[in-house]
Copies of this chain bind each other. A is one copy, B any other.
């Protein structure tokens, strides 16, 4: 008997998933391990930057008032009373017509309010005393970086939910975050199903194929920011599958299965959901590939029943599991980033269903263009390797032509998108 399923739209399916989204947790990690993690708190300036007035150049600090008469025709001479490397603090009060040799980044000596750049000065020595001369005047504050001009104590610098990049790491170091508050990685359990599946190291056998989905999905989970727990292959046997899934659910936030959700005689997942008493949010989505994608919720955990077909599996994860993971990472933009692009190639086979084409976007004179990354059959793995985007083609009878404006979802982007798209 063929089970009748009612397909729902992609956006209805995303809504149902997000209505059940899970709360994220915070943990502290050493700064060195924080790259690519997601901030669990806003990062604020723990002090002014700079936290003292300092010289942005190598030169001489002095009192601008002593330079008023300086010009090409009227050179000035200053006695050099001290030399300050960055990190040193002046010890000698600066008097009229005195200067302090100052290195880039060093704190301005008390009393000084301007810096003349080294290149503009001439040095000399008389009776063991050092002097400089130069031919110009300086304004108050000239060549001084003032306390707080970059950031003020208490400023919010980076928002919670942001992916930590090298610039943010520099900022965290500046403000003394030797430990960083980040979102704990959601734990995502993973089962493969299908007796046709060989492991990557096994030689091919007639009628069998190697399991690529578990590897691709693991990489997708990492990319989304989650941690993978791979439980291996489910047996094609109901009780064993039910027991394995029940046990795994105790250890994870999300549980993904690949395969076994369709209407084939060996598709056991629907019965497993039923016996668990899981709330099936949907079991058919009006899209290609991935129409059999099933999502269920059970005791505040997610069950994602993805298709066994590599492309459908990939797309189902990105549309429905990724935003749950990113929401747990405190992202306010947990969905795939959506942009518009111009088709660089005709897509001439109409399809009644909304399609998610595996595509490659690129730029041409600052304009987003997009082209299919391979032959568009849902069983085709190779096009996924070259895809950096999914292009949404609305269902219907129309063809799509070069130059048409289409919506694309960026796969490698870390900024994401809010909802609705």
- Whether B150 pairs with A104 at a CB distance below 8 angstroms is no
- Whether B165 pairs with A219 at a CB distance below 8 angstroms is yes
Residue of B nearest to A46 (CB): B204
Among A73-104, those with CB < 8 Å from B are 83, 85-89, 101, 103-104
A168 contact set on B, CB distance < 8 A = 385
Among A34-57, those with CB < 8 Å from B are 35, 47, 49-52, 56
Residue of B nearest to A217 (CB): B166
A13-21, A173-181, A241-249, A278-286: which lies at the interface: A173-181
Q: Given A309-B104, A379-B145, A382-B150, answer yes or no on A216-B170 (Cβ-Cβ < 8 Å).
A: yes
- Whether A85 pairs with B266 at a CB distance below 8 angstroms is yes
Q: Given A87-B208, A264-B103, A340-B365, answer yes or no on A215-B173 (Cβ-Cβ < 8 Å).
A: yes
Is A262 part of the contact surface with B, judged by Cβ < 8 Å? yes
Q: How far is the CA of A342 from the CA of B89 in the complex (A)?
A: 45
Residue of B nearest to A180 (CB): B200
Q: How far is the CA of A176 from the CA of B384 in the complex (A)?
A: 17
Residue of B nearest to A197 (CB): B87
Fill in one digit per residue for A214-254: 1 if any B CB lies within 8 Å of its CB, else 0.
11111110110000000000001000000000000000000
Residue of B nearest to A224 (CB): B166
- Taking a contact as CB atoms closer than 8 A, the residue among B35, B158, B206 that contacts A52 in the complex is B206
Is A367 part of the contact surface with B, judged by Cβ < 8 Å? yes
Most chain B Cβ neighbours within 10 Å, of A49, A158, A366, A379? A366
Is A416 part of the contact surface with B, judged by Cβ < 8 Å? no
Residue of B nearest to A171 (CB): B385
Q: Given A105-B209, A157-B385, A194-B86, answer yes or no on A200-B216 (Cβ-Cβ < 8 Å).
A: no
Fill in one digit per residue for A1-34: 1 if any B CB lies within 8 Å of its CB, else 0.
1100000000000000000000000000001100
- Whether B170 pairs with A215 at a CB distance below 8 angstroms is yes
- Whether A49 pairs with B382 at a CB distance below 8 angstroms is yes
Residues of A within 8 A of B (CB): 1-2, 31-32, 35, 47, 49-52, 56, 58, 83, 85-89, 101, 103-107, 118-119, 123, 145, 149-151, 157-158, 165-178, 194-197, 199-204, 206-220, 222-223, 236, 262-266, 308-310, 314, 339-342, 363, 365-368, 375, 377-387, 405, 411-412, 414
